[in-house]
Structure 1
């Protein structure tokens, strides 16, 4: 699928008849993310670098979507998680409905939010990105618009009409696309229980320097009769891989001062280390517990936050010392991206 999308996007960019590109899911979801089951099976039967090869293509696709010459519109009517977020969040326009459900739950699998998450989550208000990445919390369409992940909210029943109007556009001007979408927008209503309504607490807790301090701050809030989202956040963080949580916190903090290309290059390193088991096998253990055996009882190699050292975390941000690996290169749509496209 990644290769097919790369090929099509390459063709569309060269075709003067194409004015805009629409991304949508073929079914009830936009995309629930990469197929981790298939990935682990292929790696187990072969070599860890197979996973890195797939991941390289996926991040190149995310980068090409973000830098595409034509206007891209994501129509999100259902689940959008993990790799699906990488596809949709990098589009110019991100249209959601009341059926949209966003989440980045990678830490529960022993991985971490990636596909550019350290870029687009770090751009959200306050420290809401830290909250989403560390807890894997789910957002509805209304919340996605409120925090800036989505640009427009419309009703699901109006999607066919919107798509028909978009199909009729004969201009590459993004403002024309904007005006068409605006004809369908609705005013979304955020639930009273939404964490986004508690940005003061979000910022107070998730601005802390370490994961331990963030968790402690949440537990202190819980002592005073916690909102449901706080209880859920604590539970989720305690169940996730301690190493993954610390990796993501460092990643998103770095992402605030980096461009998308820098974030993707760094995340490729991070994921490659996870696939290679440089520090631990948490990704494979998380997949075993959640996706294969489904006992939901992962045995994390380093089971406590205080046992995860800065040196362990730091290794994920270094180059991989392996003859089968090299850095991802995304300099101004050159190197890896153009080389890959030329082979299609």
Structure 2
């Protein structure tokens, strides 16, 4: 009887201890999930990827890439997943780019990490482009550099009045990578060359008008749009496109506003048709208009080496496939950094 009591007490104690351990683990899991840099969730008919570093404008790091890529591939093959949504946490940014601070800090101390970052980021860019499931990026807020790579190669890109697009790499001694050499020269006229060399920022509906976004939605309707997409029942690509088009059509914000660069496009096409950076600079000087001189001032602040690399990158990329461009850009990235 005494032994049974001891066993019973021990059992209850172990059970209680086990319960506490489980509860503690669940609390930790909950905390870890809340603090996770990227959230990967199945919701309704979709796989939802949330970049979860709002304090850092959802800047992309290697750990995030290594979590997103295999999940994207898994959902791509899952018959119960009909679409994939990519979005950023918070109101300020979709993704402001790669985490430059971490990359620069590791260039000398951990070069392999830097190599892995670029290689795996570009692999993810290519996976988004070739994704077999409809891929929707909600590019609300700041969308620059690496954030462009996570969105522009997808089938659907939804901008809002708070979207801010830019490829500012020539200012930091780099070039507009993540497939910039593919999508930028394919924008209207020489717009992509202008955006790449000057780092010019497009805001709101201009992101759609430029061809970077496929749809434009009022930011206050973004949550409703997502709910409607998640509620679809075994949707086809056309069903998804219909929902996006409905919201796009109903959006009235800046509907009648002309494209910010519209009055300058003829000149931009002329200036940036030159085959060298020197000729572009000469074109701007000869024009002498306030807009031309403003762009000249901007270009003169950029890294001269980056300007030359970027112009050549876009000229080469205009006739290459995306995988070919990403291979080229990986080699360029390593040459620029090391």
Match of residue 32 from structure 1: 96
TM-align CA RMSD: 1.5
- Whether the 8 Å CA contact 1:19–1:169 is kept in 2: the answer is no
In the alignment, which of 282, 290, 295 is matched to residue 216 of structure 1? 282
Moved over 3 A (4+): 187-193
1:261 CA displacement: 0.7
1:74 CA displacement: 0.6
1:10-25 equivalence runs, <5 A: 10-25=73-88
1:41 matched to 2:89? The reply is no
Paired with 1:5 and 1:50, the residues of 2 have a C-alpha distance of 17
1:9 CA displacement: 0.4
1:139 matched to 2:202? The reply is yes
- Whether the 8 Å CA contact 2:206–2:259 is kept in 1: the answer is no
Paired with 1:88 and 1:190, the residues of 2 have a C-alpha distance of 26
Match of residue 238 from structure 1: 300
Distance verdict in 2 for CA 1:271–1:167, change over 3 Å: same
1:194 matched to 2:194? The reply is no
Match of residue 7 from structure 1: 70
Match of residue 163 from structure 1: 226
> Quick check: which has more Rg, 1 or 2?
2
Paired with 1:23 and 1:59, the residues of 2 have a C-alpha distance of 17
Deviation string, structure 1 residues 190-246 (Cα, Å, up to 9, x no partner): 76682243210111100111111111111222x2x423xx34422221011101000
- Whether the 8 Å CA contact 2:229–2:243 is kept in 1: the answer is yes
1:44 CA displacement: 2.5
Paired with 2:168 and 2:127, the residues of 1 have a C-alpha distance of 24
Q: Which has the higher contact order (CA 8 A, sep 6+)?
A: 1
- Whether the 8 Å CA contact 2:97–2:148 is kept in 1: the answer is yes
In the alignment, which of 188, 204, 215 is matched to residue 270 of structure 2? 204
1:172 CA displacement: 4.7
1:142 CA displacement: 1.4
Match of residue 265 from structure 1: 327
Match of residue 286 from structure 1: none
1:86 CA displacement: 0.4
- Whether the 8 Å CA contact 1:82–1:114 is kept in 2: the answer is yes
Q: Which residues of structure 2 form unaligned runs of 5+? A: 1-63
TM-score by length of 1: 0.76
Paired with 2:257 and 2:198, the residues of 1 have a C-alpha distance of 19
TM-score by length of 2: 0.77
- Whether the 8 Å CA contact 1:100–1:141 is kept in 2: the answer is yes
Match of residue 179 from structure 1: 242
In the alignment, which of 128, 136, 151 is matched to residue 214 of structure 2? 151
Match of residue 290 from structure 2: 226
Structure with greater strand share of residues: 2
